[in-house]
Amino acid sequence: MSIRMPSSIQTRQMLLGLQRTQDRLAQNSLRISSGQRITSPGDDPAGAASILDFGNSIQANDQFQKQADTALSYLKSSEDVVGSVTNSLTRLQQLGQQGLSGTSGASGRAAMAAEVDSIRTNLIALSNTQVQGKYLFAGTQTQTQPFSGPSAGPITYAGDAGLINLNVAVGTSVATNIPGSTVFFGSGGQGSSTDLFKAVTDLRDGLNANSTAQIQTAYTNLQGILSSVTQIQTDLGGRQAGLTDLQSMLSGFNLTLQGLQNNVQDTNYPDTLTQVSSDTTVQSATLSTLAKTNQQSLFNYLG
């Protein structure tokens, strides 16, 4: 019977230790080359779960930012149109004042009426503005042309009063539209003193008829309508400012989350290189010991 090692148990322990050392070297080598501390969930189950949670939160915030971009696009387009309406109303008031002036005769008022009619046509076009194939002022009926009507009759509304809401954060949504009935008919509704199209039509017809009483009524109504539309423009601007602030906040959150994720995920090069150096030394020493041990014979062992 030959005895090649002083203890088979000791040898097995050394071999197991060597295997663990080599496994660590292989794992750390992968960490160094990939830059990732966790290369599989088994490396650190808790850390892997944290990385997944951080990633899901970042992805959700990215989606919210895209929703906010979409909302901003529609709100900006709506504000631009409402701004044009405001400018038109300002000009209409100027024409109304001129029409009320005692120096304006019938011919002068008729010339003003022609300009008012042109503005009326432009306002109808503005009320039917489309963005990306959708009508801005049709409520939720974005594929339906909202406003139409004859030159001499009332303008009717085919949209609804619905709001289109987009989620821009957890538990937070923003309305991306203003229904056309709110902008162009006002609180009183179609045919009332807050109906923009009626007021413009009345101003035109009063100028054509050389009727200062009709001009005065239309002018007074236009004053109230301008105030209401200006408030709508302010509201649209406020929504955009709020969304811009929200996007900035979400961007900050994502930077923080990304940093936390990197802290868990990324390789700590100084620590890893130190571990590699230590394990390389241990591996060399173990291999050397095993080589010497395996060379021992019974006589070497007995001394």
Angle at 139 (CA atoms; ends 133, 140), nearest 5 degrees:
70
Residue 267 belongs to a domain: no
What CATH number corresponds to the domain at position 182? Answer: 1.20.1330.10
Strands 172-175 and 165-169: antiparallel
CA distance 50 to 253: 16
91: nearest Cα among 111, 76, 112: 112
- pLDDT mean over 90-119: 93
CB 92 within 8 A of CB 203: yes
DSSP string, 183-247: IIITTT-TTSTT-HHHHHHHHHHHHHHT-HHHHHHHHHHHHHHHHHHHHHHHHHHHHHHHHHHHH
Residue 41 belongs to a domain: no
Give 176-228 pLDDT, tens digit per residue. 999 999 999 999 999 999 999 999 999 999 999 999 999 999 999 999 999 99
- Residues paired with 135 in a beta bridge: 130
Residue 292 belongs to a domain: no
Give 48-92 pLDDT, tens digit per residue. 888 889 899 999 999 999 999 999 999 999 999 999 999 999 999
Name the residue range of residue 135's domain.
54-259
Confidence of residue 1 (pLDDT cuts 50, 70, 90): very low
Instruction: Reply yes or no on whether the pLDDT at 5 is more than 50.
Output: no
Confidence of residue 24 (pLDDT cuts 50, 70, 90): low
Residue 212 belongs to a domain: yes
Residue 175 belongs to a domain: yes
Domain count, the chain: 1
Give 242-290 pLDDT, tens digit per residue. 999 999 999 998 999 888 888 887 665 666 667 767 767 867 777 777 6
CB 185 within 8 A of CB 192: yes
- pLDDT mean over 95-109: 90
Q: How would you classify residue 233: left for phi > 0, otherwise alpha for psi between -120 and 50, otherwise beta? A: alpha
> For the chain, what is the mean pLDDT?
86
Instruction: Reply yes or no on whether the pLDDT at 301 is more than 70.
Output: no
Residue 303 belongs to a domain: no
pTM of the model: 0.76
Residue 24 belongs to a domain: no
CA distance 235 to 131: 20
